[in-house]
Structure 1
């Protein structure tokens, strides 16, 4: 099939491609560098609005058409098993409805490392084989583009091959229940119903987002910034300094004091001077209010490669921080979240109503994000400074909605397709001060955030 014929098929199935592109544009930020494998006419690549776009396909006629239609991008007649000849890396690699035609999927997956940097995301879409009878019928009656016989691959087969090739799956899901346009009905089915449990198994196309586990630098080369938001925590400041381990090549502590009514600020200043020869300590008072504002203030001052949050109440022991460091520095995850809901807690560490609320939000957000997250409200969270800067650049998508800071990081990391990993910690009872959380006021706010996330992340 030549270029003009393929374009006519795309036009006849415009609604399906609109749905596919809605997903891809949500997943791939504009102005990213993008490689599309099996690019065909270049239509999908162009709609992604990349800063640098490269497409490859084994059909020379399609490549010639694509280069003429989209001269701002680069196209190559190239087999996917020859990716190492490109000698370049990309932010995103797209394989949309192409892996079914590869003669050796494992070989192609192994070659993907050659065009990946540590932050590259590989986005795979392919048809759900439950739709095979319907698609075959549509092809026979002229409603679907003719295709050669496809590999019989389901989600487990592909994730297995990705694992063999040292490609780590970040998240998976399915989209589109109604590939033909019916006013209102198609919108309802494709935006909402397909995302519901059970119905999701029937989605027309499956997606997988993965990352390369190669080209990671040694853990010893990372520096660390530990941000400590502190409000009415005078009695814990010195213990935090004494008990926080040294991690990586350098560890700095940043105390952000916020509107305390005790002597927390003067205590931070005293401890900063006392330990000036032993530890790299910075301190600042926040102009705004809330933990979220304090975290953003501290992250803005941080010079480390890895950013950590440690609550000043020390209900999460500072001695647990190396577990978080090792997880992110060794590439096991990119957004590391503590979970207090595994080990038994000390008496009075978490009230029953708080525990029930945390478990509810664990279930809700694991479903919304398509990644496991057991304890959304654990204060200890870790990510790299590079990924945090990318999160800031995309923050306008969600807006300034989160006074805690927890969900700003969770949602932002999910939007960037960062790999979530949870570290179980033993949650301790407070030894000084009182909690700054209002169960009912803040609980209602979290419920509103759940519905906010549904429309920004799940129902797209």
Structure 2
């Protein structure tokens, strides 16, 4: 893609003074003049550095990366295409053509940059690699799509498709939520290889692997309630049923071997087993309802397309 007049680069920032100017300049050097920095209240001069480098700078009204992205796209972006990246200089502006080409060609409405395709030495710790792979495997198992790198912060999408996503995450769970919402709303997604580099010396990450990783796993599971109810309620039902079976086995063992009865535990075992079975049944029913809903939506969309023709 050679014409970037209808493209906005979105950079959410928080204390990124060491790298933000470099990132803004790198995107402007490849022809992207509309660079929007939305800042979460930096105290280190990030906003001044970004403005001096040629970016539009807006201070977000709330807190968190997710809130910043929603506010920026909905209130401050008018371009058709949005390129979202982090301001920590780990992404390469030269990859922007690969990110935008599927959108311009009409092959996708949302593009994810796959960091694992060309990850440079030192770019990610072993713990983060393992966590990322577990999250990607969990996403594939729960939501049925292999996006390879759902936590990538390098994205490109149409502003119209973004408005179809029901996004509520305020923090680093926003990338996970965007991936889930793309599946839920059947938005065409393309995954392209990108380069991922080590953070430059002197810059510090705002990501906390354990805390934010936990938030991401919770977000994945929470979203399964409406996107894959059989997994959501089925897993809860299986857990409850297993707990009931374990308690039943303990009660029977104590009764047969030692002649000791445990009435309270026995009641709890029956209750857990019944709850688990009910949750499993509810999961199957919810999955059937969701399938019917998707069929109805598909028929409605086909009817609308037919009328437009």
- TM-score, length of structure 2 as denominator length: 0.68
Does residue 400 of the first structure (1) align with residue 168 of the second (2)? yes
Contact 2:65 2:170 in 1 (8 A): no
Does residue 258 of the first structure (1) align with residue 258 of the second (2)? no
Does residue 444 of the first structure (1) align with residue 219 of the second (2)? no
Q: Which has the higher contact order (CA 8 A, sep 6+)?
A: 2
1:329 aligned to which of 74, 97, 104: 104
Distance 2:85 2:112 in 1: 11
Contact 1:219 1:326 in 2 (8 A): no
Deviations 1:130-187 (A, max 9, x none): xxxxxxxxxxxxxxxxxxxxxxxxxxxxxxxxxxxxxxxxxxxxxxxxxxxxxxxxxx
Task: Kindly report which structure 2 residues correspond to 1:74-113, keeping only aligned pairs within 5 A, or say none.
Answer: none
2:134 aligned to which of 342, 356, 360: 360
Deviations 1:306-355 (A, max 9, x none): 111110002111121121011211122221111112224222x1111110
Does residue 378 of the first structure (1) align with residue 160 of the second (2)? no
- Distance apart, 1:411 and its partner CA: 2.2
- Give 1:142's aligned residue: none
- Distance apart, 1:245 and its partner CA: 5.2
Does residue 388 of the first structure (1) align with residue 162 of the second (2)? yes
Task: Kindly report which structure 2 residues correspond to 1:15-414, keeping only aligned pairs within 5 A, or say none.
Answer: 223-244=6-27, 251-272=33-54, 281-300=55-74, 301-347=76-122, 349-391=123-165, 395=166, 400-404=168-172, 405-414=174-183
Contact 1:344 1:426 in 2 (8 A): yes
Distance 2:39 2:51 in 1: 10
Partner of 1:343: helix, strand, or coil?
strand
- Give 2:195's aligned residue: 426
Deviations 1:76-111 (A, max 9, x none): xxxxxxxxxxxxxxxxxxxxxxxxxxxxxxxxxxxx
More helix by share: 2
2:184 aligned to which of 415, 420, 443: 415
Does residue 458 of the first structure (1) align with residue 233 of the second (2)? no
- Give 1:80's aligned residue: none
- Distance apart, 1:251 and its partner CA: 4.7
Unaligned runs of 5+ in 1: 1-217, 273-280
Distance 2:30 2:6 in 1: 7
More strand by share: 1
- Give 2:261's aligned residue: none
Partner of 1:426: helix, strand, or coil?
strand
- Distance apart, 1:357 and its partner CA: 0.8
- Distance apart, 1:428 and its partner CA: 0.4
- Distance apart, 1:373 and its partner CA: 0.9
Distance 1:388 1:354 in 2: 28
Partner of 1:425: helix, strand, or coil?
strand
After superposing on structure 2, the runs of 4+ consecutive aligned residues of structure 1 that deviate more than 4 Å are: 218-222, 245-248
Deviations 1:16-67 (A, max 9, x none): xxxxxxxxxxxxxxxxxxxxxxxxxxxxxxxxxxxxxxxxxxxxxxxxxxxx
Distance 2:23 2:99 in 1: 17
Partner of 2:89: helix, strand, or coil?
coil
| Residues paired across the two proteins, number | 227
Deviations 1:190-232 (A, max 9, x none): xxxxxxxxxxxxxxxxxxxxxxxxxxxx985971111011111
Partner of 2:163: helix, strand, or coil?
helix
